[in-house]
């Protein structure tokens, strides 16, 4: 019988004093299917429970991960009935809020951040958040201004015990330096993948030098499909998504993956990528992609 590959196969990293497997789970895709139709609620809850069974102990979420029928935080709370596994780390992000007119995320100022943190805590049925990322900018456009005032608000909440560790999202290297001057930063979460946002290669390396986790989102979905990716997937008998995830994890021990899905089959495939080791030749072929 083939041994089941779990998220532990990817190795671990420390988010402050919290140990996580480097293959985690992103909750955004739980609200709806790829075609935009509502997700199956029971299946989404089952996927969350199965993810933990498969060794996932890092879940990324946000209070603004909502649709007309679903809330990611409510699904997470329901899946575990408020009795979370002791080693489960839940990361959220604040900064954007949900514009009531457009029902899309919009960025708000420092005065809104405390209520966002408290709302995440309430929705998840917890007394604090493990990690809170300050997300800046609009959509995928990174803000160019200072984050000091907003990050300072989160640092104060950390001092009060509402937050255990802090991170930043959708940022540049200068934002990282600015945040680190205020309080310890345990992670940077940016869009990044094999064929998109490769201008962040240097930021990824910088995070490693500082012992900060680099956590790409959209690592699978980013970019169009590629012949080299498909060829390596065929040669190895795996999916293109698994190749992309494996490449992501190969970028450094401090790089964490948080693929999201509401499909139990895709979940199993994503977790299995934790055990996929690419050869030097395969990595070179992938790195040659322009």
CB atoms within 10 A of CB 157: 20
Q: What is the DSSP string of 144-208?
A: -S--HHHHHHHHHHHHTTSEEEEEEES--HHHHHHHHTTS---EEE-B-BTTB-GGGHHHHHHHH
The neighbour count for residue 112, using CB atoms within 10 Å, is 16
Which phi and psi angles does 168 have, rounded to 5°? -135, 155
Give the dihedral of Cα atoms 123, 94, 189, 78; nearest 10 deg.
10
Catalytic-labelled residue, pool 65, 84, 108, 112: 65
Kindly list the distances between the CA atom of residue 163 and the CA atoms of 68, 133, 240, in Å, as whole numbers in the listed order: 29, 10, 37
Coil/strand/helix, residue 232: helix
Active site residue 65: yes
The Cα-based distances of 129 to 52, 94, 196, 204, 246 in angstroms read 18, 12, 30, 25, 29
Catalytic residues: 65
């Amino acid at each position: 019988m083939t041994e089941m590959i779990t998220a532990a196969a990817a190795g671990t990293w420390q988010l402050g004093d919290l140990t996580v497997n480097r293959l985690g789970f992103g909750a955004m895709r739980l609200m709806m299917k790829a075609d935009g139709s509502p997700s199956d609620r029971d299946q989404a809850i089952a996927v969350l429970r199965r993810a933990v069974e498969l060794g996932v102990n890092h879940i990324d979420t946000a209070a603004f991960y909502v649709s007309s029928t679903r809330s990611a935080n409510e699904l997470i709370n329901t899946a575990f009935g408020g009795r979370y596994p002791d080693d489960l780390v839940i990361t959220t992000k604040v900064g954007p809020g949900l514009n009531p007119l457009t029902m899309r995320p919009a960025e708000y100022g420092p005065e809104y951040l405390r209520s966002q943190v408290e709302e995440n805590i309430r929705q998840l049925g917890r007394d604090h958040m493990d990690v809170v990322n300050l997300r800046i900018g609009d959509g995928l456009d990174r803000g160019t201004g200072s984050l000091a005032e907003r990050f300072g608000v989160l640092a104060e909440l950390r001092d009060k015990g509402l937050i255990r560790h802090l991170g930043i999202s959708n940022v540049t290297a200068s934002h990282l330096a600015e945040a680190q001057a205020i309080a310890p930063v345990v992670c940077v979460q940016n869009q990044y993948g094999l064929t998109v946002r490769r201008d962040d290669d240097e930021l990824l390396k910088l995070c490693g030098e500082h012992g900060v986790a680099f956590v790409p989102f959209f690592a699978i979905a980013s970019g169009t499909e590629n012949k080299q990716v498909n060829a390596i997937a065929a040669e190895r008998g795996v999916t293109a998504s698994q190749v992309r995830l494996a490449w992501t994890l190969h970028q450094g021990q401090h790089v964490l993956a948080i693929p999201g899905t509401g499909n139990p089959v895709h979940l199993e495939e994503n977790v299995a990528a934790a055990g996929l080791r690419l050869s030097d030749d395969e990595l070179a072929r992938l790195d040659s992609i322009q």
